[in-house]
């Protein structure tokens, strides 16, 4: 079995350049010689001209044969090169496709690596955020403690609500008692003032009557004895003060008014003294009522404190 011929070895760059130069290089000397021989051969006549033209024709055919040979060599060389170039192009296209596939694969790998890096960064961020908090067991324990505290606070709130309700009820009863006490005190004060006014009117009538009787009795006694007021000879001369009535004795109208106003002044003084006494009594009553109110409030506060102490003792016992 005949062995398969080995594929031709690709030409190097230098060899390819040499082939191109040899292909383009033509022997122009033979062509110039033919061109120089052509005019004399055409000018000659007879047998000598025929011989010259026959020789020129042979040289032209020889030159054409050389050209045909070069064309055949060139065509064979071109086919081999085309085959080589075709294989090279196919190889390059295959490499190009493989490179494209490799690039796509590398793109997918790069995207996967980038996603992995992104996931790692997110994981690191979450891990650092999670590390800021305590462990799950500690958080559960703290939550349970908070729930217990909330339950205790809720129980205390219920107790405070009950205490507040009882306190409000007691304050309501205290307010009702104070209203009743105020009504009683107001009635007593009004009754007392009415009695004092009535008593003042009676005292004023008695004083006026007694004063008039005394003056009448004194006048009657003086008239009966014949004795009257005696003048003092050593007394200084009387000089009346200047007034709107001019100089001289006091008019009888002013004397009468002064005598008439003396009982009125007495009644005014009596009323003023009675009012002062009534005011003192009212102040004493107010102080007494204030002391009673403070005592009741202190009793209420002590009751609330006692209840709170009892509740604290119950909680301590629990």
Residues recorded for the chain: 318
What pLDDT is recorded for position 249? Answer: 43
3-state DSSP of 103-164: HHHHHHHHHHHHHHHHHHHHHHHHHHHHHCCCCHHHHHHHHHHHHHHHHHHHHHHHHHHHHH
pTM of the model: 0.27
Q: What are the angstrom distances between the C-alpha of 136 and each of 131, 133, 241?
A: 11, 9, 112
* pLDDT number for residue 241: 46
Q: What is the pLDDT of residue 138?
A: 84
* Whether 110 and 176 share a structural domain: no
Are 191 and 274 in a shared domain? yes
- If asked whether residues 94 and 27 sit together in one domain, one would say yes
The confidence score (pLDDT) of residue 270 equals 64
Domain of residue 300 covers: 146-206+264-318
| Burial degree of 56 (CB within 10 A; 0-12, 13-18, 19+) | middle
Per-residue pLDDT of the chain in tens (318 residues, 90 and over written 9): 445 556 667 677 787 777 766 665 666 777 778 788 878 877 877 788 788 888 888 888 888 887 777 777 667 766 777 788 888 889 999 999 999 999 999 999 999 999 999 999 999 998 888 888 777 888 888 899 999 999 999 999 999 999 999 999 999 899 888 888 888 887 888 788 888 888 887 776 665 565 556 666 665 665 555 444 444 555 555 454 444 444 444 444 444 444 444 555 666 666 666 666 667 767 777 777 776 666 666 555 555 566 666 666 666 665
Of 103, 131, 159, the position where a domain reaches its end is 131
Residue 229 lies in a domain: no
The pLDDT score that the predictor gives to residue 248 is: 43
Our measurement of the distance from residue 23's CA atom to the centroid of its chain's CA atoms, rounded to an integer in Å, reads 91
Query: Do 63 and 178 share a domain, yes or no?
Result: no
Residues 6+ away with beta carbon under 8 Å from 26:
none
Residue 250 belongs to some domain of the structure: no
What is residue 129's predicted lDDT score, i.e. its pLDDT? 85
Indicate whether 299 belongs to any domain: yes
Residues 19 and 126 occupy one common structural domain: yes
Q: Are residues 28 and 160 in the same domain?
A: no
Question: What tokens appear for 26 in the block?
Answer: 């033509």
Q: Which of 73, 102, 131 is the last residue of a domain?
A: 131
- For residues 307 and 166, what is the distance between their CA atoms, to the nearest angstrom? 10
Q: Are 278 and 199 in contact (CB under 8 A)?
A: no
């Amino acid at each position: 079995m005949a062995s398969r011929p080995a594929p031709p070895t690709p030409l190097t760059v230098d060899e390819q350049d040499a082939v191109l130069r040899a292909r383009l290089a033509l022997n122009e000397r033979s062509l110039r010689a033919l061109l120089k021989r052509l005019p004399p051969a055409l000018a000659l006549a007879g047998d000598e001209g025929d011989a010259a033209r026959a020789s020129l024709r042979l040289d032209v055919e020889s030159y054409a044969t050389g050209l045909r040979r070069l064309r055949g060599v060139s065509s064979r060389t071109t086919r081999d090169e085309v085959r080589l170039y075709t294989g090279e192009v196919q190889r390059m296209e295959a490499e190009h496709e493989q490179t494209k596939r490799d690039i796509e694969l590398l793109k997918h790998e790069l995207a996967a690596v980038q996603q992995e890096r992104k996931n790692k960064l997110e994981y690191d961020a979450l891990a650092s955020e999670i590390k800021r908090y305590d462990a799950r067991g500690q958080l559960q324990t703290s939550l349970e403690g908070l729930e217990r505290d909330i339950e205790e606070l809720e129980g205390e709130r219920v107790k405070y609500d009950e205490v507040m309700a009882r306190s409000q009820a007691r304050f309501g009863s205290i307010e009702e008692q104070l209203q009743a006490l105020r009504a009683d005190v107001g009635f007593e004060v009004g009754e007392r003032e009415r009695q004092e006014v009535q008593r003042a009117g009676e005292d004023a009538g008695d004083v006026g009557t007694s004063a008039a009787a005394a003056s009448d009795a004194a006048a009657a006694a003086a008239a009966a004895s014949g004795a009257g007021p005696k003048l003092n000879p050593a007394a200084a001369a009387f000089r009346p003060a200047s007034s709107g009535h001019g100089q001289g004795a006091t008019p009888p109208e002013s004397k009468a008014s002064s005598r008439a106003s003396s009982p009125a002044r007495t009644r005014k003084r009596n009323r003023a003294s009675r009012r002062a006494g009534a005011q003192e009594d009212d102040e004493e009553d107010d102080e007494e009522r204030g002391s009673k109110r403070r005592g009741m409030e202190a009793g209420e506060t002590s009751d609330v404190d006692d209840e709170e102490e009892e509740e604290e003792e119950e909680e301590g016992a629990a």
